[in-house]
């Protein structure tokens, strides 16, 4: 009896290990959210301090959002996500610039023939859709809100037509979804039987 009481219960040990893993992931996501929020709080006001606040914020987010998404892959040690992000971003950039060269649509201001599609919008939506696709809607929803602001700012400034922005958003999203897979592939909930009773178990496959 004494030897049995000193042995670790394998089921309880597995449960404890799973809980520790979930806690570790929760801490990682908290760090990720802090990074995204910090970049937004610092860079957006910096853009707003420009002579043209709307243009400044839109221009800043065009670079800040991809930088935040890429930086977070390093913070989380998400090597696969980093490769997927780079593939999606380069594809989005290539399609955007290729269409600009092929279509040569004049901007609403009458200057330049690089209106279609919007590069600001494709870059920001590529980053936002990566954050949502890879790490979920809790981070993706705010990222999409920022990307939407970028698109709106381009139309408001008469730098693009509405269809330029819609095309840019579509390019960014489709490019990302083509290459990016969710970090959490499967989460299931079910009953779990233990020596001392029953409970509900959570299973994640990463």
First CA to last CA distance, the chain = 39
Which pLDDT value is given to residue 32?
Answer: 54
Is 22 a domain residue?
A: no
Cα Rg of the chain (Å, integer): 22
DSSP state of 149: H
pLDDT band at 205 (very low <50, low <70, confident <90, very high): very low
23: its two tokens: 């806690």
Residue 140 lies in a domain: yes
How far apart CA 20 and CA 27 sit, in angstroms, is: 11
Domain span holding position 115? 27-205
Please report, rounded to a whole number, the percentage of residues in the chain having pLDDT higher than 90. Answer: 43
Which of 73-87, 88-102, 160-174 is predicted with the least confidence, judged by mean pLDDT? Answer: 73-87
| Residue 48 covered by a domain | yes
Note whether residue 15 is domain-resident. no
Q: What is the rounded average pLDDT for all residues in the chain?
A: 76
Residue 192 in domain: yes
The predicted structure's pLDDT at residue 172 = 97
d(CA 90, CA 127): 11
175 within some domain: yes
Domain count, the chain: 1
In a 13 Å sphere around the CA of 44, the CA atoms on its Cβ side amount to 14
Which neighbouring-strand residues pair with 82?
A: none
Please give the Cα distance from 153 to 19 (Å, whole number). 44
Full-model pTM: 0.69
3-state SS, residue 131:
helix
């Amino acid at each position: 009896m004494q030897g049995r009481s000193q042995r670790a219960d394998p089921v309880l040990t597995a449960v404890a290990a799973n809980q520790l893993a979930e806690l570790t992931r929760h801490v990682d996501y908290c760090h990720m959210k802090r990074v995204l929020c910090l970049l937004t709080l610092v860079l957006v006001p910096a853009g707003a301090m420009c002579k043209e606040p709307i243009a400044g914020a839109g221009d800043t987010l065009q670079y800040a959002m991809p930088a935040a998404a890429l930086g977070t892959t390093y913070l989380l040690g998400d090597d696969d996500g980093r490769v997927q992000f780079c593939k999606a971003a380069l594809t989005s950039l290539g399609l955007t610039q290729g269409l600009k060269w092929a279509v040569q649509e004049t901007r609403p201001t009458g200057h330049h023939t690089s209106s279609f599609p919007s590069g600001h919008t494709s870059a920001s939506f590529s980053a936002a859709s990566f954050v949502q696709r890879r790490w979920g809607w809790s981070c993706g929803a705010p990222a999409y809100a920022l990307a939407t602001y970028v698109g709106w700012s381009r139309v408001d400034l008469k730098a693009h037509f509405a269809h330029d922005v819609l095309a840019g958003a579509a390019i960014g999203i489709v490019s990302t979804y083509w290459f990016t897979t969710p970090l959490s592939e499967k989460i299931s909930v079910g009953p779990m039987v233990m020596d001392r009773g029953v409970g509900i178990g959570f299973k994640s496959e990463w």
